Structure 1
Amino acid sequence: MWTDPPKLIQPSLLSRLPDALRRLRPTAWADANRAGQAVDSFLEGPCFDAAGNLYCTDIPHGRVFRVSGSHWEVVAEYEGWPNGLAARGDDLLVADYRHGLLTLDPVAGAMAPLLETILSEGFRGINDLVLLPDGGVVFTDQGQTGLQDPSGRVWRLHPDGRMDKLITNGPSPNGLVMNRAGTHLMVAMTRSCEIWRFVLRPDAVVAKANLFFRIPAGTSGPDGLAVDAHDRLFVANPGHGQVWVVDAHGLCTHRIDCTGFGRMPTNCTFAPDGRTLVITESQSGSLLAAEIPVPGG
Structure 2
Amino acid sequence: MSSIDSSTAELSVIKDGEKPRPRTTAHHNQMISHTKNQKRGRPLDCFLEGSVVCGSTLYLTDIPYGRIFAVDIPTKLRSLAIQYDGEPNGLARHGKRQQLIIAGFKLEILSLDPTVVEPKLIPIIDRFNGERLKGPNYLVTSEDGAILFTDQGMTGLQDPFGKVYLLDSSGTSLFVAMTRDNSFWLTPLYPDGSVQRTERFASYFEVGGPDGLATDVEGNLSVVHSTLGMVFVQNKDGTPRARVTTKSCGSGSTNLTWGGEELKTLLMWRVNRARF
Q: Do Structure 1 and Structure 2 share a fold, with TM-score over 0.5?
A: yes
Q: For the residues of structure 1 that align with 2:163 and 2:228, how far apart are their CA atoms?
A: 25
Partner residue of 2:131 out of 121, 125, 128: 121
Match of 2:24 in 1: none
Match of 1:27 in 2: 32
CA deviation vs aligned residue, 1:163-194 (integer Å, no higher than 9, x gap): xxxxxxxxxxxxxxx9xxx4211100110011
Question: Is the 1:55–1:64 contact (alpha carbons within 8 Å) kept by the matching residues of 2?
Answer: yes
1:43 to partner: Cα distance: 0.7
CA deviation vs aligned residue, 1:2-39 (integer Å, no higher than 9, x gap): xxxx3211111244133327527862111111110001
Aligned residues: 259
**How do 1:162-181 and structure 2 match up within 5 A?**
none
Check 1:82–1:43 CA distance in 2 against 1; reply closer, same or farther (3 A cut): same
2:81 is the alignment partner of 1:93: no
1:232 to partner: Cα distance: 0.7
Of 68-77 and 14-23, the range deviating more from structure 2: 14-23
Question: Is the 1:236–1:266 contact (alpha carbons within 8 Å) kept by the matching residues of 2?
Answer: yes
Match of 1:74 in 2: 80
Which structure shows the bigger proportion of residues in helix conformation?
2
Which structure shows the bigger proportion of residues in strand conformation?
1
CA deviation vs aligned residue, 1:107-148 (integer Å, no higher than 9, x gap): 232111111111332111100111123211000001111111
Q: For the residues of structure 2 that align with 1:220 and 1:40, how far apart are their CA atoms?
A: 21
Say which SS state the counterpart of residue 81 (structure 2) adopts.
strand
2:178 is the alignment partner of 1:189: yes
Q: Name the TM-score, length of structure 2 as normaliser.
A: 0.88
Instruction: Give identity over the alignment, percent.
Output: 34
Runs of 4+ in structure 1 off by over 3 angstroms are none
Question: Is the 1:239–1:263 contact (alpha carbons within 8 Å) kept by the matching residues of 2?
Answer: yes
Say which SS state the counterpart of residue 37 (structure 2) adopts.
helix
**How do 1:118-267 and structure 2 match up within 5 A?**
118-158=128-168, 182-216=171-205, 218-267=206-255
What stretches of structure 2 of length at least 5 have no aligned partner? 22-27
Q: For the residues of structure 2 that align with 1:255 and 1:126, how far apart are their CA atoms?
A: 29
Letter in structure 2 aligned against 1:258: T
Letter in structure 2 aligned against 1:72: R
What stretches of structure 1 of length at least 5 have no aligned partner? 1-5, 160-177, 288-297
Say which SS state the counterpart of residue 38 (structure 1) adopts.
coil
Match of 1:105 in 2: 113
Q: For the residues of structure 1 that align with 2:172 and 2:131, how far apart are their CA atoms?
A: 30
Question: Is the 2:173–2:189 contact (alpha carbons within 8 Å) kept by the matching residues of 1?
Answer: yes
